[in-house]
Amino acid sequence: MKLKTALELMRSRYQAYKNKDENYLLQTWEISTRPVNIDFSSQPQWLGLEIISTKDGMEKHNIGYVHFKAYYIDNKKISCLEENSRFIKDNEQWFYCDGEIFDNSARVPARNELCPCQSGKKFKRCCINKLA
């Protein structure tokens, strides 16, 4: 399946992390920055992906950026991985290259805030029980 934009690749890679699909992640990683393997032994429980912004990364471009926040549970705390990822297109195929990671501290949402898993439900009616 050929993805047309960097954003499409970003979303598919997030799902691959959730599903621990090492093969897909490595295949979509640019060769000069690709690791030998991916260690899923300490993988957190991913809750949701929020796209903050995109720059370029369309069919007509050869480079693109996707700024995102990925929420997860680790050690009974909700945390966030925030990154501005860089993607490059080679031979009409998009690849993840690298990214700038931002420092985000763990924060538990208030009971009446929307759940970070993006279900549209309040936190108290959704993922709060996963912290117990």
Low-confidence ranges of the chain (pLDDT < 70): 1, 105-107, 132
pLDDT of residue 106: 59
pLDDT in tens, 69-85: 998 988 878 888 999 99
- Topology (CATH) of 6-131: Nuclear Transport Factor 2; Chain: A, (3.10.450)
Domain assignments of the chain as residue spans, ordered by start = 6-131
pLDDT of residue 21: 97
Cα–Cα–Cα angle for 71, 101, 113, rounded to 5 degrees: 30
**Rg (Cα) of the chain, in Å, rounded?**
16
